[in-house]
Amino acid sequence: AIALTMAHHALKSLRGASSSSTSSVVGNVITTEFLETSITEGIRNYSILKTRKGSVEHSSAEEILVQAGNMNDKNNNNSLLSHLKLFENSPRQGILDSHPPSIESMNINPVGLYSLLYHCQEDASCSCTGCGNFVAAVITKPPETVLVLLPIFATNISGSGDSSGYNNNSQSYILLDSHPRPNQHAPHNPQHGSYALFHSDLSGLVGSLKEIFPVTELGPDVPEMMGMMYNSFDVYPFVLPG
C-alpha cells in the first residue's frame, strides 16, 4: 500500500513534466516532504485495508488495488489507489542476474531487471495516451518492495517508442524506497529512513536495484529451476490515466 500510494502521488505530481524540464520538475516534486507525506498516507491506507479486509501482508499489488477500489472510505483516500492503471500481462515476472546493466544485457537475459523495465517504458509510449510522461513500477521480491519511476519514451514520427526525447542528464530515473539500507554502501545509507535516488539513465537505476536485489548464488549442485525460483521477482507497471 505504501509503494502504491507513492506511485499515485508521484505520477499525479509529475504529469506536467516535459522532456525539457524534467530535472527541475522532478527535483521540486520528489522531496523529503513528499516521501514523508506519501509514506504516512500509505501506512494509513494499509491500516484501513488491514482493518476492513484482514491480513494484507501477502497480498499482491494487484490484489491491494482491487481491495482499495471496493472500499468506500468517507475521505476517499483508498479510492486514489484504484485510479492507477495496471499494464496488461502483469505482473511481469523476471529472473535476477549478475550481468552489468546495459541494453546489451537484454540479449543475455530477456527477463532481467534492465529488460523488463525497458519494456515497461516502451509499452507505455506505444499504448498509453494521456497518461503523462512517467510510468511507475512496483518491484517485489519478498520480503522487499520498492518503487521506481521511469520516463515514458518520446514517440517519433513513425509512432514507435524512442528514448531520444529525454535528456540523459535529466535525472529522471528514480528509485523510491521506504526502508533504510544501513548495511549497504553509500548512497544507500540514508540518515532518515526513506530515500530517493536519482539516475540519469536506466543502467544507473538498475545498478542501484541490484544492490537491493542481489543474485542468490546457490552453487553448481543446485538444480537450475530452484536457482530461478530463488532469483525471481515481479514488476507491476502502472500509469495514471488523465
Could you report the per-residue pLDDT of 172-225, keeping only the tens digit for each? 899 999 888 777 666 666 656 788 999 999 999 999 999 999 999 888 888 889
Strand 92-95 and strand 195-199: pairing? unpaired
Lowest mean pLDDT segment, chosen from 98-107, 154-163, 182-191: 154-163
**pTM, rounded to two decimals:** 0.84
Distance between CA 166 and CA 76 in Å, rounded? 35
Residue 168 half-sphere exposure, CB side, CA atoms within 13 Å? 5
pLDDT tops 70 at residue 108 = yes
- Tens-digit pLDDT profile for residues 57-82: 666 777 777 666 655 554 545 456 77
Q: What is the pLDDT of residue 194?
A: 86
Q: Which amino acid is at 104?
A: E
Res 68: pLDDT: 66
- Compute the average pLDDT of residues 29-58: 81
Q: What is the pLDDT of residue 224?
A: 87
Question: Element (H or E) spanning 62, and its range?
Answer: helix 61-69
52, three cell numbers = 476492513
Query: Cell 482491487 belongs to which residue?
Result: 66
Instruction: Give the per-residue pLDDT at 19.
Output: 47
Report residue 51's pLDDT band, with 50, 70 and 90 as the boundaries: confident
- Is the Cβ–Cβ distance between 214 and 99 less than 8 Å? no
Amino acid at 7: A
Mean pLDDT, the chain, whole residue set: 81
Confidence at residue 234, expressed as pLDDT on a 0 to 100 scale: 96
CA separation for the pair 190, 208 (Å, rounded): 14
**Predicted pLDDT at 175:** 94
Distance spanning both ends of the chain, measured CA to CA: 22
pLDDT at 159: 37
Q: For residues 80 and 67, give the distance between their C-alpha atoms in angstroms, rounded to a whole number.
A: 12
- Cα separation of 113 and 207, whole Å? 10
The CA–CA distances, whole Å, from 165 to 75, 133, 143 equal 39, 11, 36
How are the residues of the chain apportioned to helix, strand and coil, as percentages rounded to the nearest 5? 40, 20, 40
pLDDT above 70 (res 163): no
The pLDDT value given to residue 79:
59
Window from 27-31, 129-133, 136-140, 182-186 with minimum mean pLDDT: 182-186
User: Cα-flanking dihedrals φ and ψ of residue 154, to 5°?
Assistant: -65, 155
Instruction: Using the predicted structure, report yes or no on whether residue 16 has a pLDDT greater than 70.
Output: no
